[in-house]
Chains A and B, each alone.
Chain A
Amino acid sequence: MIKEIKVYLFILLALALIFTYGYLFYPHSPVKPTGLSLERPSAVHVLGTDDLGMDIFAQISRGFYISMFIGLSTAGLACSAGGILGIASGFRGGKTDGVIGFFINLFLSVPQLPIMIVIGAFFGQSIWNVIVIISLFSWASIAKIVRAKTLQIKSKDYIKIAQSYGASFFYILTNHLIREISPLLLVNTLAVIGKAIVQEASLAFLGLSDPVSKTWGLMINKAVNFPGIYFTHYWLWWLLPPLVCLMLTTYCLRMISREIENTITK
Chain B
Amino acid sequence: MGRKIAVLVLSFFVIYTINFFIPRLMPGDPFSHSSSVSGEEMAGLSEQELARLKAYYGLDKPIVTQFISTVKNNLKGDFGQSILYKKSVAEVILSRLPWTLYIMSATLLISLFLGIILALVCLKKSRLDGYVYRAMSLVCEMPSFLIGVLLLFLVAAQVPWIPLAGNLTPFRRYNSFFELAGDVLVHSFLPILALVVVTTPVFYFTSRSSFKTIMNKEYIVHANAKGLSEKTIKYKYILLNAVLPIIARFFLSVGNCIGATLLIENVFAYPGLGKILRDAVLYRDYILIQGIFLLSTTLVLVASFISDTINYFLEQRIAND
Contacts and interface: CB of A to CB of B under 8 A. Distances in A.
A254 B255 contact: no
Contacts of B149: 220, 224, 239, 243
Interface in B248-272: 255-256, 258-260, 262-263, 266-267
A172 interface: no
B300 A109 contact: yes
B281 interface: yes
A123 B25 CA distance: 10
28 contacts: A102-B7, A105-B11, A109-B11, A109-B301, A113-B260, A114-B258, A115-B293, A117-B281, A117-B293, A118-B19, A118-B289, A121-B286, A121-B289, A122-B23, A122-B26, A122-B286, A194-B141, A207-B278, A208-B281, A220-B146, A230-B152, A230-B157, A230-B164, A235-B153, A239-B153, A243-B146, A246-B146, A251-B138
Contact of A114 (B10, B146, B266, B297): B297
Interface magnitude class on chain A: 35 or more
Interface stretch (A11-19, A57-65, A76-84, A198-206): A198-206
B243 interface: no
Interface of B: 7, 10-11, 14-15, 19, 22-23, 26, 137-138, 141-143, 145-146, 149-150, 152-153, 156-157, 164, 255-256, 258-260, 262-263, 266-267, 277-278, 281-282, 284, 286, 289-290, 292-293, 296-297, 300-301, 304
Nearest to B282: A207
Nearest to A258: B137
Contacts of B267: 205, 224
A35 B96 CA distance: 44
Nearest to A122: B22
Nearest to A101: B7
Given A110-B297, A254-B141, A202 B7 contact: no
Contacts of B293: 114-115, 117-118
B275 to A, nearest CB: 11
B150 A243 contact: yes
A116 B284 CA distance: 15
A250 B141 contact: yes
A207 B145 CA distance: 14
Contacts of A120: 281
B266 A118 contact: no
B141 A115 contact: no
B263 A109 contact: no
A106 B164 contact: no
Contacts of A207: 278, 281-282
Tell which of A106, A109, A201, A206 has the most Cβ of chain B within 10 Å.
A109
